[in-house]
Amino acid sequence: MVASPRALITGITGQDGWYLAKHLLELGHEVVGTSHREGVNALEVEGSSVRVVTLADTLQPTLRALLAVERPELVFNLAARASSAQLFDDPLATAEVNGLQVASWLEAIRLESPQTRFCQASSSEIFAGAAVSPQDETTRPVPCSAYGAAKAYADHLVNAYRRTHGLFACSAVLYPHESPRRPVHFLMRKVTHSAARIAAGLDRGLALGDLDATRDWGYAADYMEALRLMLAAKDPEDFVIASGGAHTVRDVCQVAFARVGLDFREHVTTDPRFQRPKEAVPRIGDAKRARETLGWAPSLSFEQLVDLLVDADCAALR
C-alpha cells in the first residue's frame, strides 16, 4: 500500500486549518501544522491530536529548517491576516504576512525541497474592483485593499515560481466560506449567531450595513477538499473555488431567522456605519474549471449552509 503524502498546514488553528486537517486525516495523511501563537502545541481534530509547531518567524532560513526536519510532500499555506476588519488597517503587516511570507515559503521549497507541492490560499478580494461578473481564472485581478493587493502579489509569485523554477505550486482563489468554526465577526456567522441569541431571548436586535449587498458564500469543509484535490492533480493549476450562487445579506437574514421561527424584519436594522463601498459588479465566482478538472462541487446549498450555522449556534446556547 502506498503511504499517503505527509502534509504541513500553516495557520492550522483557524477555521480552514481545522477542516483541512480533518479531511486529510480521514484520508490517512500524516498532518503537522504551524502557528505563530506561543504555547499551542497540538490541535484536537475529532479525536485526533495534530502536532503544531510554533514559528517564531517566517524568514527563509527558518522555513528551510522546518522543511528539512518535517519533510512534507504537501504544504498548504493558510496563514494570513484574515479578518474582514483588517483589509486596510495595517498595510505593512498585511503585506508581510499575506505577501512576503509566501515568497519565503516558495524560495525555501525551491532550495530545500523542490519536490514538495505548495498550495496558496488566495482570496476573492483580488477581484474587489473587477469589471466583470462572474469572475474566473482569466479575470484580471483588481484588488481594492491592502489585503487583496498582498494576496494578488502572492498569486503572481506562485505563478512565477511555477513557470520559472518548475515548482508544483498553485493558488486557490477562495470566495467567502463559512462554518460553525468561523469567528462571529464575519457577516454570515454574525447573522446566524444573532438569530440564535434573539430566539433564546438573550438579544433583541441586530444592526447591519447594506442588506442588498451580494456575496457568493460556500461551506468551508467543501473548499478545503478543493485544496487537497488541487495538490493531488497531475499538473499544477490555479482555481477559483466558489459556489457560483449570488445571495444578498437580506437572503442570509431571511433564512437564518426563519430557521428559528422569526421574521428578520422585526429584528434587523441597518446602520450606515457598517456599510462598505458598493462594488461595480457582484463578486461571484465561476468554478467551472474546478468542476471539470478536479471533479469538485459544493455539497451544501446556500439554505443548507445557513441552517447548519443556525443549528450550531442554537446548540451552543443550550
- Kindly give the confidence (pLDDT) of every residue in the chain, 318 residues in length, as a single tens digit, with 9 standing for 90 and above: 457 899 999 999 999 999 999 999 999 999 999 998 888 999 999 999 999 999 988 899 999 999 999 999 999 999 998 655 555 678 888 898 899 999 999 999 999 999 999 999 999 999 999 999 999 999 999 999 999 999 999 999 999 999 999 999 999 999 999 999 999 999 999 999 999 999 999 999 999 999 999 999 999 999 999 999 999 999 999 999 999 999 999 999 999 999 999 999 999 999 988 888 888 899 999 999 999 999 999 999 999 999 999 999 999 999
pLDDT score at 4? 81
Q: Are residues 117 and 190 in the same domain?
A: no
Q: Is residue 173 part of a domain?
A: yes
Is there a catalytic annotation at residue 123?
Answer: yes
Q: Is residue 295 part of a domain?
A: no
Q: Are residues 53 and 161 in the same domain?
A: yes
Q: Are 316 and 195 in contact (CB under 8 A)?
A: no
Q: Are residues 43 and 73 in the same domain?
A: yes
Closest by Cα among 217, 215, 223, 188 to 297: 223
Q: Is residue 172 part of a domain?
A: yes
Give the CATH number, domain containing residue 190.
3.90.25.10
Q: Are residues 122 and 150 in the same domain?
A: yes
Q: Is residue 68 part of a domain?
A: yes
Q: Are residues 118 and 203 in the same domain?
A: no
Q: Are residues 97 and 22 in the same domain?
A: yes
**CA distances for 221 relative to 19, 21, 48, 74, 108, angstroms:** 5, 10, 17, 18, 29
Q: Is residue 272 part of a domain?
A: yes
Choosing from 147, 161, 175, 219, which is the catalytic residue?
147
Distance CA 152, CA 120 (A): 11
pTM of the model: 0.95
pLDDT score at 278? 84
pLDDT score at 1? 42
Q: Are residues 259 and 149 in the same domain?
A: no
Choosing from 113, 123, 133, 145, which is the catalytic residue?
123
Closest by Cα among 179, 163, 194 to 15: 179
Is there a catalytic annotation at residue 147?
Answer: yes
Distance CA 82, CA 87 (A): 8
Residue 303 is which amino acid? E
Q: Is residue 288 part of a domain?
A: no
Is there a catalytic annotation at residue 125?
Answer: yes
Q: Are residues 133 and 235 in the same domain?
A: yes
Q: Are residues 201 and 136 in the same domain?
A: no
Q: Are residues 97 and 189 in the same domain?
A: no
Q: Are residues 172 and 211 in the same domain?
A: no
Distance CA 150, CA 188 (A): 24
Domain holding 56, by residue range, is: 7-177+218-241
Choosing from 125, 171, 178, 194, which is the catalytic residue?
125
Tell me how many domains the chain contains: 2
Q: Is residue 204 part of a domain?
A: yes
Q: Is residue 287 part of a domain?
A: no
Q: Are residues 32 and 74 in the same domain?
A: yes
pLDDT score at 88? 61
Burial 101-117 (b: 16+ CB within 10 A, else e): bbbbbbbbbbebbeebb
DSSP assignment of the chain, as one string?
-PPPPPEEEETTTSHHHHHHHHHHHHTT--EEEEESSTT--EEEETTEEEEEEE-S---HHHHHHHHHHH--SEEEE--S---GGGSSS-HHHHHIIIIIHHHHHHHHHHHH-TT-EEEEEEEGGGGTT-SSSSB-TTSPP---SHHHHHHHHHHHHHHHHHHHH---EEEEEEPPEE-TTS-TTSHHHHHHHHHHHHHTTS---EEES-TT-EE--EEHHHHHHHHHHHHHSSS---EEE-----EEHHHHHHHHHHHTT--GGGTEEE-GGGPPPPPSS---B--HHIIIII----SS-HHHHHHHHHHHHHHHH-
**Residue 221 grid coordinates:** 469543509
Give the CATH number, domain containing residue 157.
3.40.50.720
